[in-house]
Amino acid sequence: MEFGSIDEQLAYLTKGCVDVIRPEDLKAKLLRSAGTGEPLTVKVGFDPSAPDLHLGHTVVIRKMRHFQQLGHRVVFLIGDFTGLIGDPTGKKATRPQLTPEEIAANARTYERQIFKLLDPERTVIDFNSRWLGKLSSADWIRLAAKVTVAQMLERDDFRKRYEAQQPIALHEFLYPLAQGYDSVALECDVEMGGTDQLFNLLVGRQLMRESGLEPQVVLTLPLLEGLDGVEKMSKSLGNYVAVEDPPFEMYGKLMSISDELMWKYWLLLTDRTEAEIEALKTGVATGQRHPMEVKKELAATIVTELHGPSEAAAAAREFEKVFSNRQRPTDIPEIELPSPGARSLVSRIVASAGLAGSNSEARRLIQQGGVRIDETRVADVKAEIDTSPGREYVIRAGKRRFAKVRFIDTT
C-alpha cells in the first residue's frame, strides 16, 4: 500500500476514528518516524479471558493493521495482570484466577485469529504482568498520587454508579492507573481502543507526561453495531460474525445487514479509503451500482481477508445457488433420527434435527413461513408428517439452515 504524503497517511490512520487526541501530535510523530526510519509503537490492550473474536473486535485490529501497512510496530497487549490475580470483586462469585497455562492457551487462540489480519513480523504479543507484577508498594502509592479521586469519578461509568449509589470497589480505580502505566512501560506512541476506553487512554497520556515521556496519541474507534444494526455486536446478543465463522456462514450473515449499515461496515471492516467508499456510495446513489452487488463485494472482501479468495468465491457461488437461485446448497448435513412412530409434528422434527433451538422456536418459524419440507412451505404449526422408519426429507429452516433427515428404526 502506497501513501504519498503524511496528510494521506493521517487520513488513512484516522478514518473511522471517533476521538483523535491530537491529530497534530500524530502528524508530528509520523513525520519524525519518516525522518528517522524508526517505526511508531502502537498499543492495544485485550482481555486475557475471552479470546473469541468477532468482527466488532476487528475494527481496532484492522486499525493496528493500517499502522503496520505504513511500517509501524503494533503491540497486542494481553492484560494478564488482572487475570493472574483474579477479579476480586464480589466475594460470593469471585472470578477464578487464570493459570499461566490458561493465559498462554488464550494467547495462542488470539494469535490464530489476529494473524488473519495482522503481519506477524510487525506484531509484538506482550503481557502486562511482566511489569505490573513487579511494581512495589512504593510504586503503587506514587502511581496513585498522580491522579485525583474527582478525576476518576468523572469517568462516565464511575460517575453514574456513584450517583446511583452502586458500590465501586476501590481497586477499580487502580485499573485505569495500571493500564496507563502499561503505556509508560512500553513508551507507546499511540494507544487505541473503543470509545468506552477514552478515559483510560487519557490516563496513559497523563502518566506518560508526568513520567517525562512524550504523551501517547489516543485514537478511539466506534463500537460496531451487530447484524441487527441496533445493538452493539456481541456474542451474548447473537448478532455477531465470529472471526472463525466458516466462509459460507460469514458471507450469508454479512449479506443480511441493511443497506444503511453496509456503509459503516465498509468504513470499519475494510481497508478501503474514505475516498474509495465515497465512490461506491455515489455509484449506488446514481443507480450505476445495485446495493446488493456492493454488499456482495463487501462480504467477499471480508471473507477473502479472513479465509482467502477461493473460499470467498465458493461462498459467493453457494450464496447465489441457495438464495438468488433458490436452490439447495450442495453440502447439506445428513441426520438420522430415531423414528418417533408413524406421524409426528413438523415442529418437533425441526427442533430434533437441531434446526431450531426449541419446540417453541420451531413453531414460531413455521408461523413465519420459514420452514419448508422438500421445498414446500409448511403452512400450519400443527402440521404432521410421516415419520416411519426409512422416510427421508430435506428440511429447511430460515434462509440458510438445511438438513436431510432420515428416520430409523431403533426398536
Is residue 89 close enough to count as binding its own copies by CB under 8 A? Answer: yes
Is residue 150 close enough to count as binding its own copies by CB under 8 A? Answer: yes
Question: Of residues 3, 162, 199, 263, which one binds its own copies by CB under 8 A?
Answer: 162
Comparing CA positions, the residue from 117, 235, 250, 128 lying closest to residue 177 is 128
Question: Of residues 53, 75, 84, 221, which one binds its own copies by CB under 8 A?
Answer: 84
Residues 6 or more apart whose Cβ sits within 8 Å of residue 330: 318, 321
CB of 36 to its own copies, least distance (A): 32
State which residue, 105 or 169, has the beta carbon closest to its own copies. 169
Cell 468465491 sits on residue: 313
Is residue 223 close enough to count as binding its own copies by CB under 8 A? Answer: no
HSE of 192 in the Cβ direction (CA atoms, 13 Å)?
28
State which residue, 92 or 134, has the beta carbon closest to its own copies. 134
Phi, psi of 40 (to 5 degrees): -75, 155
Is residue 212 close enough to count as binding its own copies by CB under 8 A? Answer: no
Whether 86 contacts 49, CB under 8 Å:
no
Q: Cβ atoms within 10 A of the Cβ of 315, count?
A: 24
Whether 393 contacts 373, CB under 8 Å:
yes
Is residue 169 close enough to count as binding its own copies by CB under 8 A? Answer: yes
Q: Look up residue 307 and give its three cell numbers.
A: 479465509
Is residue 130 close enough to count as binding its own copies by CB under 8 A? Answer: no
State which residue, 109 or 206, has the beta carbon closest to its own copies. 206
Is residue 133 close enough to count as binding its own copies by CB under 8 A? Answer: yes
Side chain identity at residue 411, one-letter code: T
Is residue 159 close enough to count as binding its own copies by CB under 8 A? Answer: no
State which residue, 3 or 140, has the beta carbon closest to its own copies. 140
Q: At what angle do helices 291-307 and 274-285 cross, to 10 degrees?
A: 150
Contact letters for its own copies, residues 39-78 (x by CB under 8 A) = ----------------------------------------
Question: Of residues 6, 11, 28, 147, which one binds its own copies by CB under 8 A?
Answer: 147
Sole window of 141-149, 280-288, 289-297, 353-361 interacting with its own copies (rule: CB under 8 A): 141-149
Whether 96 contacts 145, CB under 8 Å:
no
Is residue 299 close enough to count as binding its own copies by CB under 8 A? Answer: no
Sole window of 167-175, 347-355, 371-379, 394-402 interacting with its own copies (rule: CB under 8 A): 167-175
Phi, psi of 177 (to 5 degrees): -65, -40
State which residue, 140 or 199, has the beta carbon closest to its own copies. 140
DSSP state string for 37-88: -PPPEEEEEE-SS----BHHHHHHHHHHHHHHHTT-EEEEEE-HHHHHH---
Sole window of 1-9, 114-122, 160-168, 403-411 interacting with its own copies (rule: CB under 8 A): 160-168
Whether 36 contacts 48, CB under 8 Å:
no
How far apart, in Å, are the Cα atoms of 158 and each of 19, 86, 162, 223?
20, 21, 6, 19
How many residues lie near its own copies (CB under 8 A)?
38
Give 96's DSSP letter: P
Question: Of residues 60, 177, 303, 371, which one binds its own copies by CB under 8 A?
Answer: 177
State which residue, 171 or 377, has the beta carbon closest to its own copies. 171
Is residue 137 close enough to count as binding its own copies by CB under 8 A? Answer: yes
Whether 215 contacts 208, CB under 8 Å:
yes
CB of 92 to its own copies, least distance (A): 13
Question: Of residues 141, 212, 376, 382, which one binds its own copies by CB under 8 A?
Answer: 141
| Chain contacts with its own copies (rule: CB under 8 A) | 81-82, 84-85, 88-89, 132-138, 140-150, 152-153, 158, 162, 165, 167-174, 177
